[in-house]
Structures are given as C-alpha cells and as structure tokens.
Chains A and B, each alone.
Chain A
Amino acid sequence: MRESPRQIIVLAISFALLAALPWIAGAVGRPDFVTLGSQACVMAIAAASLDLLMGRTGLPSFGHAAWLGLGAYTVGILAFHARDLGPWALQAWAVWPLAVLVPAALAAVIGALCLRTSGISFIMITLAFAQMFFFLFVALKTYGGDDGLTLRRRSTIPGIAPRDDVAFFYVCLVALVLVLLLLRRVAASRFGTVLDGIRQNERRMMAMGLAPFPYKLAAFVLSAAIAGLAGALHVNLFRFASPDVLHWTMSGELMVMVVLGGLGSLWGAVFGAAAMVVLHAVLAQWTEHWQIVLGPILVAVVLLARRGVWGALGGK
C-alpha cells in the first residue's frame, strides 16, 4: 500500500516531533511527556503487530494482550530469579529475545487451535486463551499475583544508564522504527500478499491451490513475537508487570487502536496507539471516567472516517 503525499508529510512531521520529544518536554517543563512518548511507542509496536493479524490477514484476535503480558512477565520473572540464574537474566540481549520467543512458541500451539475456527468463534477462543493467562498470573502468588511483579531495575543495555528515561525513550523509538520497517517489508513480500489475499477472499485463495492454514499460523506467531517485544519494553518502561497487561480490556484497547488508526495500514495502528495513549492521559486528568468521553470519540471516528484516521489522511 502506497502512502499519499499528505500521509508522507504527516509521517515525517510526526517522527521528527517524536525524535525531538525529550527537548520539547524539557522546554515546556513536562518531563512526564517522555514517559508518555515511550508508552506511545510501546503500544504502537503492540498495535502494529495486531494489525498484521487483524488488518492484513483478517483475523480479529481478541487476545492479543496475552502476548504483551507474556513478554512482560518473561522479563520480570527472569529478573526475579536473577540471583539463581546468573547475571545474564538481567541483560537485555538475553532476556528480550526470550520475551519474543516465549510468546511466539505459545502462539504456535494456541494459534494452531484457534485457527481451526473463524469469525466470531475465533474472537471468542482467542479471548478465552488470553483470559486463561490472565487468571494464571493472578494465581501465581510467587510473582505477585494480583499485585503484579516489580522489576527492580531495567534490563541492562551496554552504554545506557538504567535510570535514564530519555535514553530508554530512544530505545523504544528505535524498536518501533525497526518493527515498522520489518512489518512493511513483510507486508510487501510474497508472504504478505498471501495474507492480504486470505483476508480478501480465503475461498478464492484455496481455489488457487493455496492451503491457508500455515500462512495464518505464521502470521499469528509473528504477530505474537512482536507483541512480546512490546511486552519486554512495557515492563521495562514502568518497571512493573501486572495481570492488567493481559486483561481482556487491554486486548480490546489494542483492537480499538488498530480500528481507530485504520485497519491494515500499519501506520494507522501507530497513530491509533499514539492517539489512545495521549487521549487516555489527557482525559484522565479531567475525569476519572475518561472512558465515557473516549466512547463518543471512537464512535465519531468510526462514523466519519470508516478507514480510520490514517485512511482519512490518505483521501479518496
């Protein structure tokens, strides 16, 4: 999918602003903006990974938070046992890849089961599996249960001070850019065109001689792996993992981000995520019932711009 000139301008400005965010935050005296920026990047990674499934492949998973949470808990639990495991359990180069692999491996099994269904059943079964993980972590008292698990210090990245929020913001931003480049590349590949075909007309793809299942499963696993990376960043950002990250409301929020931004456009998921994070922060200052305000905004977007914010930018 080609971007329109207007979209390219908006993209360039957005990423320039994002890159300059720490200076802007400093200039207006709001260091908390940096954390907000990191959060937007992390959620954008998670939303972009969901868009690969929902927008590209036409598989509306309602359990995407599970992978985010599993990524977060992988980092948290390894750090928790670092004394027994050794110092590698605190190193980003060791634990972040595991935070990608653990969700990916589980997604291979769970995806193989979920993908036997389609439509509403697929939505419900992905939700059920995610809730299973939610209750699992609530029950795991060793790792804090309900209260969550604190990460004493961020994963070690050589050359970056663990308490440096600005440096961590750039880590998140670079991760986001890399993920977007990867997903764009995948979308344009032969594999990506097959996913697009499956979304448009699975029956036709089969009449071409394509067995869709392996492709859907690969998309499911890739999407979970990237969400796992978002989870690793998430737990590092707040130095905290809690079952809330895997709650179905988080899965729902991710879906809203993708739809708000525009299904299947990748950049849309990024803008949707950023918009949600910012709206959340702004509205939460006014009222604790921020969701009551968010609801009508969503309805308006869906009614006014059926292809989401990003689609509306593209014109046509």
Chain B
Amino acid sequence: MSALLEVRGLAKRFGGLVATDGLNLDVQAGEIHALIGPNGAGKTTAIAQIAGELRPDAGTIRLAGQDVTALPVPARVKAGMTRSFQITQVLMQSTALANVAMVEQVRQGHSFRLWRPAARDERLLAPARAMLQRVGLAARADVAAEDLSHGERRQLELAMALATHPRLLLLDEPMAGLGATESAAMTALLAALKQEVAILLVEHDMDAVFALADRITVLEGGRVIASGAPDAIRADPAVREAYLGAA
C-alpha cells in the first residue's frame, strides 16, 4: 500500500545554505506524523515545498499516488492537501465567519458570479458556521479577525484549512504562542480530527507531539536524523543530543 503523501529526495538550498537535504517522508492515511527539529532545521521550508509555495531543487512529492511536484498551490489544494501557517495568515479585516465562508466559496467554485450578493448566501454561511462551531469559535463568528485574540486566530487558521476538506493537512506549529489551556484544547481538537484527515504536524510543543503523533521524524540541518514511533524517538540518543536534550 502506498502512503497518502510520499516525499522522495526533496532538496532545497538558499545560496550556500542547505535547507532541505534529501528529505524522504511518508504520511499514511489516518495518521498524525510529526516533523520536529530545532529552530532553522528546515521544517517550514519542507512544508512550503510540499504545499507548493516553494519549488524544490530536486525530489518528488506524491499525493495519493499522483505526482504533484509541478503543481501550483491551488491545484494541490484541489488534489486534497493544504497548509496552515506558522505566522497566522487570515483575512484580517474580514470576520471569522467571512473568512471561513470565503474558503467554502472557493471550494464550491463559482467565484465568477458578479451579480448576486455573497454576504447572505446560506450555501456559504451554513457550512462556515458549522466549521467555526467545530473549532470552538462559533461565539466569535462576527468579530473581525484583527480583533480576535492570538489563540482565536490560531483556531480560525485551523478552521480555514479544514474547510478546504483536505485529505492531508500540513500544520506548521498550530500551538505557536498558545497558553497551556489553549494548547490542550488544540491538542484535543487535532486528536478528534484524526478520524477524517491525515496530518503532517510541525510542532515545538513536545507534550502535544507525544500526545498526538503516530510517528515522528526529526530534522536537523535539513536532513532526517531519526524517524519512527514516538517511544523510539524519545529514547534515541542522537535526537536527545540534537533536540530533546536541549528542551
């Protein structure tokens, strides 16, 4: 059985700096695969290449058997994977509801309609409300994103990624900047998502990683230094030296 996501020999350099160095990575359907490593290890760079924002120098990326290496970002979203951002990227002046409704609209297609008003279109709003409900943001639906708290914006970010109905979510530090309670809530949310969507999870919060991950890959200097089950990773001396020991 081939994996949902198959990354083979991915390589990227920025001038003299090797940010991704022959990365091989699989994400199986139904699993949470954590990608961890120290700052600057190349995690975000890897996500950006898998999502299609950054063109790799070499390597292939397959989603459900389909080679998507040459596809632009929107086509990869249609093929079933989308990313969230380490630094929140939402439509700041739009309400939480409008943000998710926009995703719903893009997913449904038909954005070349120039006449009918979109703001009261229940075909967009109803699924958007349901999605906000799911991430626990229903009460804040009509608040502009710029007026949401940081934690709420992280929830919105997740709702928007989910609203594309992906088969694979690429999450870049969903817990970044969250307090302990918020992190716990986000962890519970991701655990519940596992039933329906595979996740490649980049995260520095080791409690969350060990609570969620089925498999962990450790990056350092763009290369994989270890990959395997959480217990094995926890015990790996090279990993302890490079990353966990420091934490």
Contacts and interface: CB of A to CB of B under 8 A. Distances in A.
Given A207-B83, A208-B106, A208-B107, A201 B90 contact: yes
Given A204-B91, A207-B51, A193 B105 contact: yes
A190 B93 contact: no
B160 interface: yes
Q: What is the size category of the interface that chain B forms with chain A?
A: 35 or more
A185 B160 contact: no
Interface in A146-198: 185-186, 188-194, 196-197
A58 to B, nearest CB: 12
B77 A208 contact: yes
5 closest A-B pairs (Cβ-Cβ)? A209-B77, A206-B73, A200-B91, A211-B74, A188-B117
B113 A204 contact: no
Given A200-B91, A218-B112, 5 more contacts: A190-B112, A190-B118, A200-B94, A209-B107, A211-B75
Interface string B114-126: 1111110100000
Contacts of B105: 190, 193-194
Interface in A199-239: 200-201, 203-211, 214-215, 218
Nearest to B108: A190
Interface in B8-31: none
B18 to A, nearest CB: 25
B112 A191 contact: yes
Interface in B117-164: 117-119, 121, 160-161, 163-164
B77 A201 contact: no
B100 to A, nearest CB: 10
Nearest to B105: A190
B92 interface: yes
23 contacts: A185-B117, A189-B115, A189-B117, A190-B110, A190-B112, A190-B114, A192-B114, A194-B102, A194-B105, A196-B94, A197-B91, A197-B102, A201-B90, A201-B92, A204-B89, A206-B53, A206-B77, A207-B82, A207-B160, A209-B77, A210-B74, A210-B106, A211-B74
B78 interface: yes
B195 interface: no
B92 A207 contact: no
Interface of A: 185-186, 188-194, 196-197, 200-201, 203-211, 214-215, 218
Interface of B: 51, 53, 72-75, 77-78, 82-83, 85, 89-94, 98, 102-103, 105-107, 110-119, 121, 160-161, 163-164
A210 B73 CA distance: 8
A208 B113 contact: no
Contacts of A186: 114-115
A54 to B, nearest CB: 16
Contacts of B103: 208
A201 B153 CA distance: 15
B79 to A, nearest CB: 9
B52 to A, nearest CB: 8
Nearest to A222: B114
